[in-house]
């Protein structure tokens, strides 16, 4: 009989934590997990899932407009933010229930409270204290907002999902995933959107053609993008109207200001020091390829490690950890060629290296690039282009980057990610027959490098 209450205790019931707990329990481990908020974590409760639902809602505005080009005459339409939020909440509650049942069916014991290390084998859970042989930290992260004067008047993505009404005019600060996604959502639903970004082009780190193409399309949709600009102060008047002061001495009014300026790990009040777990100055927990911290029996997965902050990555890390520690199948997680999508409008899908990074890693490149009007818009009349780009290492013919901005980019790039991850060559792309008529066939028919 083990001297511990649990073989594994997991801090945080988000994507990575729940996956690890379930898989370890299926291998026969006695598993406990704690969660101070709703089970499901950022992705399910206040991230990817509700965001995608809102994004679908915003796209209906396009569909209603585009239908006219196909002979449809649509009568007066109206949109209710309140109803959208109510239906979205219903779905999120359903998913929360699914996650609770998953844990229950796996016989994982849930403690719905904040957990904190007492020492390296003991966790305080409210009044309870439990011991565990191995411990997994999967506490995720939360939005970070710069502490400018008046920042308390702003919201983050957490609150954006629960606004009482649709903003008439919203200022979104940031140029990354969340800022671009919410700019598309709010503008599609009818808000006037001003996106303020400190750098010289949005989506830093993405391929330059992606950044340009996305910015152009967003601007064409009426989103005002202010580059090289910082919000330095916020003031709220007695009617609730906000004034944002900019570092160029201009100011702007809006009823909502949202910061999407990055996320930081949830490590406050975790007792990491009492356990002896090392963290970086920003709070992320360094781990090895098996997600092991500086202590032999304490592990960490997901956003709290600051590796690649994406749900599918946390799921893979959690699964690999459980296989390694409880399933007798040691396996590290590869963080190479991870595809991702930005659910902006239009979407971005990407896998592999940007042109800039590919040059550094792979030397000489062959670059294939195509920009075209998607077939749907020949009749809809929408002036939206699709951009696709392939980067090929000249010396090996391997495709090392694939980028797309346009309709269905996320769905298309997921399929191609298998080919890129598997190291396929441009010749193998060329040998693949296209499906006609699709946009994706362009990726196997581009023949002339730039
Ligand atoms: P990002 O890191 O993507 O973007 C943060 C943005 O805020 C950047 O444009 C950054 O500018 C800017 N910024 C940072 N600090 C300041 C500051 N002090 N003043 C002004 N601007 C600032 O973070 P997000 O919050 O958008 O998202 C967090 C992470 O969540 C993402 O990186 C991604 O991993 C994940 N995510 C993934 C999604 C998906 O897969 N679809 C969707 C949403 C989130 P700069 O570029 O100059 O540093």
pLDDT in tens, 146-202: 999 999 999 999 999 999 999 999 999 999 999 999 999 999 999 999 999 999 999
The residue contributing the CA closest to ligand 1 atom 33 is: 309
Taking the C-alpha atoms of residue 217 and residue 345, their distance in angstroms, rounded to an integer, is: 8
HEC per residue, the chain: CCCCCEEEEEECCCHHHHHHHHHHHHCCCCEEEECCCCCCHHHHHHCHHHHHHHHHHHHHHHHHHHHHHHCCCCCCCCCCHHHHHHHHHHHHHHHHHHHHHHHHHCCCEEECCCEEEEECCEEEECCEEEEEEEEEECCCEEECCCCCCCHHHCECHHHHCCCCCCCCEEEEECCCHHHHHHHHHHHHHCCEEEEECCCCCCCCCCCHHHHHHHHHHHHHCCCEEECCCCEEEEEECCCCCEEEEECCCCEEEECEEEECCCEEECCCCCCHHHHCCCCCCCCCCCCCCCCECCCCCEEECHHHHCCCCCHHHHHHHHHHHHHHHHCCCCCCCCCCCCCEEECCCCCEEEEECCHHHHHHHHCCEEEEEEEECCCHHHHHCCCCCEEEEEEEECCCCEEEEEEEECCCHHHHHHHHHHHHHCCCEHHHHHCCCCCCCCCHHHHHCCCCCC
- Say whether pLDDT at 1 is over 80: no
pLDDT at 165: 98
The residue contributing the CA closest to ligand 1 atom 15 is: 261
- Third-level CATH fold of 6-142+264-326: FAD/NAD(P)-binding domain (3.50.50)
CA-to-CA separations, 259 to 136, 141, 189, 312, in angstroms, rounded: 30, 15, 19, 24
Q: Please tell me the CATH code under which domain 340-444 is placed.
A: 3.30.390.30
Ligand 1 pocket check: which of 261, 304, 317, 413 to mutate, most ligand atoms within 8 Å of Cβ? 261
The domains of the chain are located at: 6-142+264-326, 151-261, 340-444
The residue contributing the CA closest to ligand 1 atom 22 is: 261
Q: Do domains 6-142+264-326 and 340-444 have the same CATH topology?
A: no
Superfamily of domain 151-261: FAD/NAD(P)-binding domain (3.50.50.60)
Closest ligand 1 atom to 202 CA: 9
Q: 264: which 2 tokens?
A: 């930081």
- pTM for this predicted structure: 0.97
pLDDT tens sequence across 333-373: 999 999 999 999 999 999 999 999 999 999 999 999 999 99
> Which residue ranges have their beta carbon within 6 Å of ligand 1?
146, 173-179, 181, 197-199, 204, 230, 260-263, 309-310, 340-343
Residue 141 CA to ligand 1 center (angstroms) comes to 13
Task: Give the catalytic positions in this structure.
Answer: 436
Q: Which residue has the higher pLDDT, 178 or 1?
A: 178
pLDDT at 332: 97
């Amino acid at each position: 009989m083990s001297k511990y209450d649990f073989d594994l205790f997991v801090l945080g019931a988000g994507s990575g934590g729940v996956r690890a707990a379930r898989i370890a329990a299926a291998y026969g481990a006695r598993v406990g997990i704690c969660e101070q908020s709703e089970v499901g974590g950022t992705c399910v409760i206040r991230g990817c899932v509700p965001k995608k639902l809102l994004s679908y809602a915003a796209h209906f505005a396009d569909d209603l407009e585009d239908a006219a080009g196909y002979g449809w005459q649509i009568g007066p339409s109206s949109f209710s933010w309140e109803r959208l939020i109510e239906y979205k909440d219903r779905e999120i509650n359903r998913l929360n229930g699914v996650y609770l049942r998953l844990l229950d069916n796996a016989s994982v014991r849930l403690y719905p409270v904040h957990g904190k290390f007492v020492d390296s084998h003991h966790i305080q859970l409210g009044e309870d204290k439990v011991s565990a042989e191995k411990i997994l930290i999967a506490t995720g992260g939360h939005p970070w907002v710069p502490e400018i004067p008046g920042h308390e008047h702003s919201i983050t993505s957490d609150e954006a999902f629960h606004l009482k009404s649709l903003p008439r005019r919203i200022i979104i600060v940031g140029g990354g995933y969340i800022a671009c996604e919410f700019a598309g959502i709010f503008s599609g639903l009818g808000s006037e959107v001003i996106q303020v970004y400190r750098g010289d082009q949005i989506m830093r780190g993405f391929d330059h053609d992606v950044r340009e193409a996305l910015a152009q399309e967003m601007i064409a949709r009426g989103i005002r993008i202010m580059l090289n600009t910082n919000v330095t102060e916020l003031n709220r008047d007695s009617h609730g109207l906000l004034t944002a002061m900019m570092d160029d001495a201009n100011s702007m009014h809006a009823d909502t200001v949202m910061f999407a300026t990055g996320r930081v790990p949830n490590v406050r009040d975790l007792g990491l020091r009492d356990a002896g777990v090392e963290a970086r100055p920003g709070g992320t927990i360094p781990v090895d390829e098996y997600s092991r911290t500086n202590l032999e029996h304490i592990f960490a997965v997901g956003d709290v490690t600051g590796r690649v902050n994406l749900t599918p990555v946390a799921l893979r890390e959690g699964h690999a950890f459980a296989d390694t520690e409880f399933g007798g199948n040691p396996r590290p997680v590869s963080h190479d060629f991870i595809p991702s999508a930005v659910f902006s409008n239009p979407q971005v899908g990407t896998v592999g290296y940007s042109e800039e990074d590919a040059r550094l890693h792979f030397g000489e490149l062959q670059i294939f690039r195509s920009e075209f009007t998607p077939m749907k818009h020949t009749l809809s009349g929408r002036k939206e282009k699709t951009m696709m780009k392939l980067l090929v290492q000249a010396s090996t013919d391997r495709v090392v980057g694939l980028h797309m901005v346009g309709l269905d980019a996320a769905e298309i790039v997921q399929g191609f990610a298998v080919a890129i991850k598997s190291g396929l060559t441009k010749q193998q792309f060329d040998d693949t027959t296209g499906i006609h008529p699709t946009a994706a066939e362009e990726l196997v028919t581009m023949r002339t490098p730039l």
